Amino acid sequence: MVDQILTNCRLYTQDPRYPEASAVAMRAGHIWAVGSDEEILPLAGPVTRIVDLGGRRVLPGLTDAHFHFQSWALSRRELPLAGLSSRQAVQETLARRAAETPPGQWIKGQGWNESDWPEPRLLTRHDLDEAAPDHPVILWRSDLHLATVNTLALHLAGIDAATPDPPAGVIDRAADAGLPNGILRDHAMDLVSAVIPRPSSAQIDAAMRDAIAEAHRLGLTGVHDFRSGDAAESQRAFHAWQRLHAAGDLRLRVWMMIGGGLLDEAIALGLRSGFGDDLLRIGAVKYFADGSLGARTAWMLEPYNDGGVGLPVVPMAELASAIERGAVAGLPVAIHAIGDRAVRELLDVFSEVLPRVARPATDPDPSPAAGLSNDPVAQRPGAPAPIPHRIEHVQHSHPEDLRRLGALGLVASVQPIHQVDDMALVERAVGGRGRWSYAWRTLLEQGAVLALGSDCPVASPNPFWGIHAAVTRQRRDGTPAGGWHPEERLTLAQAIAGYTLGPAHASGQRARQGSISPGKLADLVALDRDIFAVPPAEIADIRPVMTIFNGDVVYDDR
d(CA 1, CA 335): 45
In CATH terms, the fold of domain 1-61+515-558 is Urease, subunit C; domain 1 (2.30.40)
Q: What is the mean pLDDT of each run of 10 residues along the chain (558 residues)?
A: 96 96 98 98 97 98 97 91 93 97 95 89 96 96 91 96 92 86 94 93 96 98 83 85 97 96 94 97 96 91 95 94 96 97 98 81 41 32 73 96 96 97 92 95 97 94 98 97 97 98 97 97 98 98 98 97
- Its pTM stands at 0.88
Task: Say what the pLDDT of residue 368 is.
Answer: 37
d(CA 131, CA 522): 50
Does 78-193 carry CATH code 1.10.3720.10? no
Task: Say what the pLDDT of residue 262 is.
Answer: 92
Q: How far is CA 222 from the centre of its chain?
A: 11
Measured in residues, the chain has a length of 558
Q: Are the C-beta atoms of residues 59 and 525 closer than 8 Å to each other?
A: yes
Q: What torsion, rounded to 10 degrees, do the Cα atoms 250, 254, 260, 266 define? A: 70
| Other Cβ atoms closer than 10 A to 160 | 12
Q: What are phi and psi of 307, to 5 degrees?
A: 100, 150
Q: Which residues pair with 413 in a beta bridge?
A: 392, 451
What is the helix (H) or strand (E) element at residue 140, kind and residue range? strand 137-141
Q: What are phi and psi of 9, to 5 degrees?
A: -140, 170
Q: Are the C-beta atoms of residues 284 and 334 closer than 8 Å to each other?
A: yes
Task: Say what the pLDDT of residue 174 is.
Answer: 87
Strands (E), 349-414: 390-393, 411-414
d(CA 437, CA 419): 8
- What is the DSSP-derived secondary structure letter of residue 527? E
d(CA 300, CA 427): 15
d(CA 149, CA 137): 5
Q: Where in the chain is the domain with CATH 2.30.40.10?
A: 1-61+515-558
Q: Where in the chain is the domain with CATH 3.10.310.70?
A: 78-193
Task: Say what the pLDDT of residue 141 is.
Answer: 92
